[in-house]
Amino acid sequence: MASPSRGGATAPQALQSWDPGRYARNARFVADLGEPLLALLDPRPGERILDIGCGDGALTLKLAETGAAVVGIDSAPEQVRAARALGLDAHVADGQALAFDGEFDGILSNAALHWMRHPDAAIDSMWRALRPGGRIAAEMGGRGNVATIHAALVGELERLGIDAAAADPWYFPTVADYRQRLEGAGFRVERIELLPRPTPLPGELADWLQTFGEAFFAAVPAEQQQALIDNVVQTAGPTLRQDDGSWVADYVRLRFLAVKPPQ
């Protein structure tokens, strides 16, 4: 296959690293909770499906088990290696600059599009990758996602005089924003909704921050990073820590089904 990506990833998301072991320990729930997307996509045996942001391949494997011919892409080489170790056809590529041309019946994307700070480029990539009549079933962080954690991170950076907006790797759009972008590109939006989904974390909030918040820490001198984590944990505790000491993060998903109209 030719290179699936037309360009490289850009900061600040590029500052995030994806260690498959750490991801499996702290983020297995991401793929587990993504399963409703399979039903929304409704893949049929033999269909060609692109998984954008395949990560370590846990959900991609379930997609492949439906009998679809699946290609996964992810910007993280270490995650792509983990996906290939499962026997998947996975490639390193930037979802905002895909080189696929009309070759997929469907696209699935779980918890990846909020890492793409150029949403119109991501939507254009998906449009080009689909054949006419093809569809996208996707879920990403929506407006208000992890709001308590996000506000605490931003507050800490601002306290240190750092430009939090420049360091922020996340894009959590409203329904109206993403609908407008999809329709602007030509998609017919069949469904789009914000779904509050309080999410129990498998461990400490500090572990979650180290797994997902690296781009924020990269903006801070190394000797201040632990204090930043401690302060965020302290600030978020009263809202997110449960009586038994466990953590429930305030996830809000934006889930949609959109179709590239037949010609």
Residues that bind ligand BEZ (CB under 6 A): 30, 111, 141, 145-146, 170, 212, 251
Q: State which residue, 130 or 149, has the beta carbon closest to ligand BEZ.
A: 149
Q: State which residue, 68 or 149, has the beta carbon closest to ligand BEZ.
A: 149
* 233 backbone φψ class: left, alpha, beta (φ>0; ψ -120 to 50): alpha
Q: State which residue, 58 or 68, has the beta carbon closest to ligand BEZ.
A: 58
d(CA 56, CA 3): 20
Residue nearest to ligand BEZ (CB): 141
132, 76 Cβ separation under 8 angstroms: no
* 67 backbone φψ class: left, alpha, beta (φ>0; ψ -120 to 50): left
Closest contact distance (angstroms) between CB of 118 and ligand BEZ is 17
Closest contact distance (angstroms) between CB of 169 and ligand BEZ is 8
Rounded to the nearest 10 degrees, how much is the dihedral formed by the CA atoms of 250, 54, 177, 122? 150
d(CA 175, CA 198): 19
Closest contact distance (angstroms) between CB of 45 and ligand BEZ is 29
Both structure tokens of 48: 């060609």
Closest contact distance (angstroms) between CB of 74 and ligand BEZ is 14
Q: State which residue, 100 or 212, has the beta carbon closest to ligand BEZ.
A: 212
5, 93 Cβ separation under 8 angstroms: yes
Q: State which residue, 151 or 259, has the beta carbon closest to ligand BEZ.
A: 151
Closest contact distance (angstroms) between CB of 186 and ligand BEZ is 27
